[in-house]
Amino acid sequence: MIIGIDVGGTNARALLIDPDSSEVIGRSRRSSAGSGSALSATLTEMVGELTESNDTTVESVGLGVAGLAHRSGVVHYSPNLPDLVEYPLGAELSTALGIEVTVMNDATAGTWAEAKLGAGRGCDDFILVALGTGIGTGFVSGGRLIHGAHGFAGEAGHMVVDASGPSHHTGHQGPWEYYASGSALGRMGQTQAASGHFPAALEIAGSAEDVDGFTVAAALAQGDDEARRIFAGFCRHVARGLVNLALIFDPARIVIGGGLTTMGEPLRSGVETGYRELMLGASHRPPIDIVMAQLGDDAGALGAALWAHEGL
Amino acid sequence: MIIGIDVGGTNARALLIDPDSSEVIGRSRRSSAGSGSALSATLTEMVGELTESNDTTVESVGLGVAGLAHRSGVVHYSPNLPDLVEYPLGAELSTALGIEVTVMNDATAGTWAEAKLGAGRGCDDFILVALGTGIGTGFVSGGRLIHGAHGFAGEAGHMVVDASGPSHHTGHQGPWEYYASGSALGRMGQTQAASGHFPAALEIAGSAEDVDGFTVAAALAQGDDEARRIFAGFCRHVARGLVNLALIFDPARIVIGGGLTTMGEPLRSGVETGYRELMLGASHRPPIDIVMAQLGDDAGALGAALWAHEGL
């Protein structure tokens, strides 16, 4: 058996997987709070429990971590897991378990899972964009996962798309995720609600401060005109970054993942419309498939497990 | 023997190469003007002449073409070679010569040449940026050339970096090449010269209209302060796009090529300074090498030949 663990800022979610069928045999979830050594102890326990309760043994463990996860197993930077930075998590866990442990970026891991088991199957060249609080990205090119020299590839959410734009909390001016993340959609809705142009949002959320991306999505589902206008603008921002990435990678498919995928087809078709408007010389290019991710919240843990097992 | 041909808007430049030593055995240059069938005839003659005058045979031919060169050998779009668009150049030439012919983008070809024989040697993850009239880019990731689903990868010059910026002739607003190509450097110098702030340029070029990138370079070499200021701003624009690409690819090295490399070390160090200022969380990242390309004008033809021979 193999185990993949998605180490997020709040929780660590582990999956026990049969490497032959890729079937999920067991699940476990724990708080990821605390120091590097505390987290290492938690993960060791999770692996032990999953192994024992399913009466099996584990060959390898893969961790997907939000942040700059170095190939060596050390996380260099992670806004959501500040206590983990510079801690040799991979090596510690490997020593504790006596098996190989692989550490990789969570979006990169999720991209590999979609490549092997989800919306990227059968496609050698695709881009994954995960729209949530921020933007995560991952790339498969020529059938291979783009990892980078250190394992840091896929940070396209920080790509500057409007150098004249406002400063983001990261310090960059006008990065893609400022305009096209779930947080951005919430901010756009909030601004319109506060200025009195978006009464439907006020009705749904109660107050302008409580408007978020899901409020806009709910108003859109009700057919509200202002929600439609805001959402079209948002989708165009998503598409702008995707066009940049498509100019770089020439993919045959774009896979949309992340929390916003609960919006379903309106998100997919909205991004597709924006993409067609913005792509340069679209008439000279073969058409591109824009599809939704298929593995949901499991993608990170699944991909980390698969990569630890056979990707190296 | 193998032959690589760089098919530019004005000339086709062919190299006869020994595939074992990668040594250039012969050279030929002809006008690339005319229809697709005229160009195909010209290239057939060039291959015949190079083969005969060196008393040898050729196994394969690789073409590097500026534009959207499809893997199939058909050029889908090429602003510099409009008569070539949708002409099956690869298939025609292959039939005429009776050997395999590969068609690829010129910057992608140049990147492969630098990977095998030039500034990318020994590095599995690097970015090449060619600064000339426009911006060409190419990527090697995990030791493999990024080609894309159709062969169109590497168009990062069109990447939008300032969505609030002016419209470029391509139709995109604020693409990287608007700010960071050799043409952009010339435009910046021209604007300052026309407004009277750059007398050194007027002295060198004679008039504001005649100021171009090389004028700015010449004034910089004289130690002119205004040239220094313009050039620092230009290098920051180059670095902005490179930071975007580095966030995506996590390279260990950046290779600067193209016509502007005649400026030498001031260009390299200027880009390095801009890169360090703009890269997010630079303290958490391993340092990156920024170096000059080594193969000059031969890179495109060399890379196309090597790719045709062994890259597929």
- ipTM comes to 0.95
Report the distance separating Cα B126 and Cα B119, nearest Å: 10
CB of A192 closer than 8 Å to CB of A224: no
Contact B250 A174 (CB under 8 A): no
Residue A77 corresponds to which tokens in the numbers above? Answer: 């930077």
CB of B60 closer than 8 Å to CB of B310: no
Does B165 score more than 90 pLDDT? no
Q: What is the mean pLDDT of chain A?
A: 94
Q: Which of B125, B163, B244 sits opposite A149 (nearest CB)?
A: B125
Does A168 score more than 90 pLDDT? no
Structural domains of chain B, with CATH:
2-106+297-311 (3.30.420.40), 121-294 (3.30.420.40)
Q: What is the mean pLDDT of chain B?
A: 94
**Which B residues, 121 through 150, put their C-beta within 8 Å of a C-beta on chain A?**
124-125, 137, 139, 141-142, 144, 146-150
Does B64 score more than 80 pLDDT? yes
Average pLDDT of the segment spanning B280-284: 82
CB of A166 within 8 Å of a chain B CB? The answer is no
CB of B77 closer than 8 Å to CB of A284: yes
Does B173 score more than 90 pLDDT? no
Q: Phi and psi at residue A236, in whole multiples of 5°?
A: -65, -40
Q: Which of B141, B164, B248 sits opposite A156 (nearest CB)?
A: B248
Which residue in chain A is spatially nearest to B160 when comparing CA positions? Answer: A161
* B271 Cα to chain A: minimum distance (Å): 17
Report the distance separating Cα A262 and Cα A282, nearest Å: 29
CB of A19 closer than 8 Å to CB of A309: yes
Task: Give the residue among A180, A179, A192 at the shortest CA–CA distance from A225.
Answer: A192
Per-residue pLDDT tens digits for B14-23: 999 999 999 9
Contact A141 B153 (CB under 8 A): yes
Lowest mean pLDDT among A49-63, A159-173, B179-193: A159-173
Lowest mean pLDDT among A230-239, A251-260, A283-292, B250-259: A283-292
Per-residue pLDDT tens digits for A89-123: 999 999 999 999 999 999 999 999 999 999 999 99
CB of A252 closer than 8 Å to CB of A289: yes
Burial B61-80 (b: 16+ CB within 10 A, else e): bbbbbbbbbbbebbbbbbeb
* A12 Cα to chain B: minimum distance (Å): 24
Strand partners, B77: B68
Does B274 score more than 80 pLDDT? yes
* A78 Cα to chain B: minimum distance (Å): 10
Does A312 score more than 60 pLDDT? no
Q: HSE of A25 in the Cβ direction (CA atoms, 13 Å)?
A: 23
Does B312 score more than 60 pLDDT? no
Lowest mean pLDDT among A70-84, B98-112, B116-130: A70-84
Q: Kindly give the residue spans of alpha helices, DSSP state H, lying in chain A.
A: 36-53, 89-97, 106-117, 176-180, 182-194, 199-205, 213-221, 225-249, 265-278, 299-306
Report the distance separating Cα A193 and Cα A44, nearest Å: 47
* A180 Cα to chain B: minimum distance (Å): 13
CB proximity list for A218: less than 8 A, separation 6 or greater: A204
Does A9 score more than 90 pLDDT? no
Residue B37 corresponds to which tokens in the numbers above? Answer: 């069938």
Tally the residues of chain A.
312
Establish, for the pair of chains A and B, how many residue pairs have beta carbons separated by less than 8 Å: 148
Position B311 confidence tier, pLDDT thresholds 50, 70, 90: low
pLDDT at B171: 75
Lowest mean pLDDT among A21-25, A284-288, B255-259: A284-288
Cα–Cα distances (Å) from A257 to A278, A298, B243, in that order, read 21, 11, 25
**Which A residues, 223 through 242, put their C-beta within 8 Å of a C-beta on chain B?**
240
Contact B142 A146 (CB under 8 A): yes
Contact B165 A170 (CB under 8 A): no
Residue B18 corresponds to which tokens in the numbers above? Answer: 């020994």
Per-residue pLDDT tens digits for B203-214: 999 999 999 999
Q: Which amino acid is at A39?
A: L
Q: For the whole model, what pTM was predicted? A: 0.95
Q: Is B193 helix (H, G, I), strand (E, B) or coil?
A: helix
Q: Which of B154, B156, B247 sits opposite A155 (nearest CB)?
A: B247
Residue A143 corresponds to which tokens in the numbers above? Answer: 């059938």
Strand partners, A139: A127
Q: Which of A146, A150, A250 sits opposite B286 (nearest CB)?
A: A150
Lowest mean pLDDT among A109-113, B138-142, B167-171, B250-254: B167-171
* A142 Cα to chain B: minimum distance (Å): 7
Position B196 confidence tier, pLDDT thresholds 50, 70, 90: very high
Region of residue A34 (left: phi > 0; alpha: psi -120 to 50; beta: else):
left
Position A173 confidence tier, pLDDT thresholds 50, 70, 90: confident
Report the distance separating Cα B50 and Cα B47, nearest Å: 5
Q: Which of A124, A144, A240 sits opposite B160 (nearest CB)?
A: A240
CB of B276 closer than 8 Å to CB of B287: no
Does A311 score more than 70 pLDDT? no
Contact B158 A284 (CB under 8 A): no
Which residue in chain B is spatially nearest to A108 when comparing CA positions? Answer: B248
Burial A173-206 (b: 16+ CB within 10 A, else e): bbbbbbbbbbbbbbbbbbebbeeeebebbbebbe
* B55 Cα to chain A: minimum distance (Å): 38
Position A67 confidence tier, pLDDT thresholds 50, 70, 90: confident
Q: Which amino acid is at A96?
A: A
Looking up tokens 């196994």 gives B59
Position B9 confidence tier, pLDDT thresholds 50, 70, 90: confident
CB of A250 within 8 Å of a chain B CB? The answer is yes
Chain centroid to Cα B149, Å, comes to 20
pLDDT at B92: 95
Give the gyration radius of chain B's Cα atoms: 20
Residue A302 corresponds to which tokens in the numbers above? Answer: 């699944």
Percentage of chain A modeled with pLDDT above 90:
87
Which residues of A are less than 8 Å from B162 in CB distance? 161-164, 174
CB of B80 within 8 Å of a chain A CB? The answer is no
Which residue in chain B is spatially nearest to A288 when comparing CA positions? Answer: B149
Instruction: Answer with the residue of higher pLDDT: B81 or A58.
Output: A58
Q: Which amino acid is at A19?
A: P
